[in-house]
Every structure is written in structure tokens, then in C-alpha cells.
């Protein structure tokens, strides 16, 4: 996984109308991804392209998975910004999604860390898979509050904002509406909002209940994704089975947004929008 740490320059703000996402409609079923496709025999060549010696491959900013010409697929790039109070597990989530070890001890991210990962997936309405290139922007909460130019930099041309809370920290859950209000502007264009609950596997220490999550989903119109507390270093294939539902859900929401923006109807092919 390629990681770049830097203090970016001040970027301009972007404004447009924000729409609240909805889920569960018939159109979404057409635009959904085929669950478990990457781990199926059909997805095996694409799985092999992101795995090496049973470990997830590390990709730099200019690298991409190597596929034979017959299996070449379109690549769609997205920028995702992670927001959340210090200690909820933003850096650990990036490591968990990328199949790399998380830091052994918590320390505040000093500036911005950008991690690149690839995720192949198969839209149900498409005749071929799509290779999603995800740039995950992780910024320390303390730095984000102290330096005003960091938030515009993280949001510049972003496709999604991931708002994190920890299932072991109720305060981080209760602060979600305030966090979203602080990060989002009324005019953020086409910015997909995603809520991720970390440390979901630490049920013995859970401070947020399933009823709490259902109430939040109903009031906000947002789906809450659940992520484990550890990266799972037993091997790439075992780890992929754990992270696949979360990565599929992330790219599915972004793919759906692009299909709606491109004016694709459920009866169309659903190939990569231009």
C-alpha cells in the first residue's frame, strides 16, 4: 500500500447542492455489485492481481494491478476522505481495508496520509468487472482543527466522506451529527456520505447497540458499515473475506452515484460512465 504524508497547500472550496442518499430502492438492486464475486472462480484472476504470496500487494501512486490483455477492465478512481475524532481508528481502518498491519499503539496522525488500494468488483448490470482505484485520505483530528487549510484540501475533488465512530466509544457515536455538520457544507457537490463503525468485533466492550445504529440509520437516511478492530494478518485471502463486504459497499455507493449522474437507467448496460 503506497502511503504519502504531506502538508498540502490551500485549495479552493467547491459548492453545489447536496442530496441525501436513499437506499433500498429497486434501481439500487440493478446497480448493486455481485456479492462475493471477487472470491468466486470468475473473480480469481482479478483476486490474484491484488495478492502476492498470500499477502495484499502494495501499490504506489503510479502503480496498478497487472492483468493480461484479455482480462483488461476499466479503472475508476475515487478519492475518499476519512473524518472522526482522535482514537476511533481511522488509520487502523485504512490498514484493515488494505490488508496491512495496523500501528501497534495509537498515535495522532500529524498531517495527511494518502493510501492507494485497488478493488475489483462486478456490477450486476455490467457485462464486465470494474477495477476501482481508491485513494484514502486520513487526516488527524487535531491537525484538522488546528490548520484551517487541511479540510478544504481533503475535500477538494473528493468523491466520498467517511465518518467514523467506534462501537467502544459512545461519545464518538453521539458526535456524528456535529461531525458531519462541521465537515460538510450545504453546497458540497455529489459527495457520498458513508458512516463506518469501527471495532465492531470487540462486542464485549460495545458501548453502541444495534438499536442505536438502526435509529441513526432511520433518522439520517444513511447506512452504517461495520469494520473489525484488527487487520487480520493471517493471510490475504482470509482477510479479504472480512473486508470484502465493506469495500463492496463503499464502491457500490460510489458506482451508483456515477450511474445516476450519467443518466443510466436500470435497463442500460451500466458500463463505466465517461
Q: What span, in angstroms and rounded, lies between the C-alpha atoms of 89 and 105?
A: 11
- Please work out, in degrees rounded to the nearest 5, the angle formed at the alpha carbon of residue 167 by the alpha carbons of 192 and 180: 30
Asked if residue 21 has pLDDT above 70, the reply is no
Question: What DSSP string describes 188-201?
Answer: -TT-EEEEEEE-TT
- Decide which of 31 and 127 is more confident: 127
Q: What span, in angstroms and rounded, lies between the C-alpha atoms of 18 and 252?
A: 19
- Buried b or exposed e, range 150-176, using 16+ CB within 10 angstroms: bbbbbbbebbbbbbbbbbbbeebbebb
- 20-24, 69-73, 136-140: lowest mean pLDDT where? 20-24
Q: How many CB atoms lie within 10 A of CB 220?
A: 17
Cβ proximity of 78 and 135 under 8 Å: yes
Q: Report the SS3 class of residue 264.
A: coil
Q: What pLDDT shows up at residue 26?
A: 46
Q: What pLDDT shows up at residue 14?
A: 26
pLDDT, one tens digit per residue, over 157-203 is 999 999 999 999 999 999 999 999 988 888 776 799 999 999 888 77
User: Cell numbers of 165, please?
Assistant: 465512530
Q: What span, in angstroms and rounded, lies between the C-alpha atoms of 160 and 82?
A: 9
Cβ proximity of 237 and 50 under 8 Å: no
H or E element in which residue 120 lies: strand 112-121
Percent of the residues in the chain that have a pLDDT greater than 90, as a whole number? 38
pLDDT, one tens digit per residue, over 42-75 is 999 999 999 887 888 888 878 889 899 999 999 9
Q: What pLDDT shows up at residue 247?
A: 94
Q: What pLDDT shows up at residue 260?
A: 85
Q: What are phi and psi of 170, to 5 degrees?
A: -65, -35
pLDDT, one tens digit per residue, over 224-270 is 999 975 544 455 666 788 889 999 999 999 998 988 888 875 544 44
Cβ proximity of 161 and 183 under 8 Å: yes
DSSP lists the bridge partners of residue 52 as 55
Q: How many CB atoms lie within 10 A of CB 207?
A: 16
Q: What pLDDT shows up at residue 5?
A: 38
- pTM higher than 0.95 for the full model? no
Q: What span, in angstroms and rounded, lies between the C-alpha atoms of 149 and 144?
A: 8
Asked if residue 16 has pLDDT above 70, the reply is no
Asked if residue 6 has pLDDT above 50, the reply is no
Percent of the residues in the chain that have a pLDDT greater than 70, as a whole number? 78
Amino acid at each position: 500500500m503506497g502511503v504519502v504524508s504531506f502538508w498540502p497547500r490551500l485549495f479552493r472550496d467547491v459548492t453545489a447542492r447536496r442530496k441525501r442518499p436513499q437506499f433500498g430502492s429497486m434501481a439500487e438492486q440493478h446497480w448493486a455489485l455481485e456479492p462475493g464475486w471477487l472470491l468466486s472462480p470468475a473473480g480469481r484472476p482479478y483476486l490474484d492481481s491484488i495478492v502476492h504470496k498470500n499477502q495484499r500487494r502494495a501499490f504506489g501512486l503510479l502503480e496498478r494491478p497487472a492483468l493480461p490483455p484479455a482480462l483488461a477492465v476499466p479503472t475508476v478512481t475515487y478519492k475518499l476522505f476519512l473524518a472522526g475524532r482522535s482514537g476511533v481508528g481511522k488509520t487502523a481502518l485504512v490498514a484493515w481495508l488494505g490488508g496491512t498491519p495496523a500501528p501497534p499503539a495509537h498515535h495522532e496522525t500529524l498531517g495527511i496520509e494518502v493510501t492507494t488500494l485497488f478493488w475489483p468488483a462486478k456490477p450486476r448490470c455490467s457485462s464486465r468487472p470494474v477495477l476501482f482505484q481508491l485513494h484514502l485520505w486520513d487526516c488527524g483530528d487535531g491537525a484538522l482543527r488546528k490548520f484551517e487549510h487541511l479540510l478544504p484540501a481533503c475535500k477538494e475533488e473528493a468523491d466520498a466522506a467517511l465518518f467514523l465512530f467506534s462501537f467502544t466509544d459512545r461519545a464518538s457515536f453521539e458526535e456524528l451529527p456535529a461531525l458531519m455538520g462541521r465537515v460538510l457544507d450545504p453546497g458540497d457537490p455529489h459527495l457520498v456520505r458513508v458512516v463506518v463503525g469501527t471495532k465492531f468485533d470487540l462486542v464485549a466492550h460495545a458501548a453502541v447497540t444495534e438499536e442505536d445504529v438502526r435509529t441513526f440509520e432511520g433518522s439520517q437516511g444513511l447506512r452504517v458499515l461495520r469494520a473489525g478492530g484488527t487487520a487480520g494478518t493471517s493471510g490475504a485471502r482470509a482477510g479479504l473475506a472480512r473486508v470484502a463486504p465493506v469495500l463492496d459497499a463503499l464502491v457500490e455507493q460510489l458506482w451508483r452515484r456515477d450511474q445516476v449522474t450519467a443518466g443510466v437507467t436500470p435497463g442500460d448496460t451500466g458500463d463505466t460512465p465517461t
